[in-house]
Structure 1
């Protein structure tokens, strides 16, 4: 009986020790769990601090964007801006008109000089045709003709006219070369000016479109600005998203 009692006591002691070991293991696990939760809470606290800093930075960016939009809106709304662009466009159009007039004047000058050359060629041709083919040079008749004309024969007159014609041909070639250069440079300049006019027209249209966008977006914001709060920050971020849409220039 005593042996059985001792065996039962030993069994109970072993059971208690095992139970204690299990409880100690459970306590250790709970300690580890609590430690992990504390570390997680610390991480969350650090994340909250970082989020607050991020929100503060976003607020600063929103304020900066608002200031930039106010400045841009003031510039676009300025009548001087639109007036200046319109004046530049009109000046370019006037310059193109003047260049076209200069080009037309040069063309008219070339036409007139070409007509004079043709008239001179006809005069020389008629003068040559008036000389008889069977009349030998140096005859008495030619001598009398030279005396009657003050010592100048028709051949001398023809040579003089031919020299004048050669000189005028040289002048015409020089003028034609200058005209070609003028025409080429004028065409290039006119094309450049037209490109500048198109660019100025487009820029002016963009300014007007941007002014309209700024007016539609900015006026509701200034009229219904909410009080400073977390919901206000969200609305500001939405406004920033709307106003930060890329604009073409």
Structure 2
């Protein structure tokens, strides 16, 4: 594992993608920074982080063993790897909020952004960006945000956490390379936040509706059981799970 440590950068994902375009990178090359000034989340959202208190890093992962349309399996493996790593640090009540937010006691502690690298029309690698709230305790204006310190009262070593997460990512990668995708999907679904519980959702028109999360489709869409026992699949842009 090759590690590049930076004091400050706009986005570790952007840095690593540009680096991969100019040179051949070692698998599991990691870019980690004390301060990320323009961290990015799903669908163009920003990720704000207090300098030096949280874990912001990206991993370059060769992943040519799956097709472009199977990229969500890497998202599932990444989410499960983070949960497995955090369990070792006694972080309580861990769940995955679809597609790949990590929650502790219903508060978001980690966000993931995975970007594919395509070569000759096929998936060649991916950049896995992670933003984990660790020792930050003030999240003014963000009522749904939490951190490891808020959850446990413990101050954590950022490098130790990073090594643990990358180690678990290597373990969970085997499920993909061995093509044991059905067990991977089942484990992910078991960890889903509010699975099989009555939940409120918002659609693209801003309308609220009730339903039950039943799981995910092969393409990673959220499967919701609606009224009249109708199941429907929703893409990330089509639905939002309300807390």
Q: Point out the structure with the larger strand share.
A: 2
- After TM superposition, is the score higher than 0.5? no
Q: Place the TM-score, normalised by the shorter chain, in its bin.
A: under 0.3
TM-score normalized by the length of structure 2: 0.20
Q: Which is bigger in relative contact order (C-alpha 8 A, separation at least 6)? A: 1
TM-score normalized by the length of structure 1: 0.20
Q: Point out the structure with the larger helix share.
A: 1
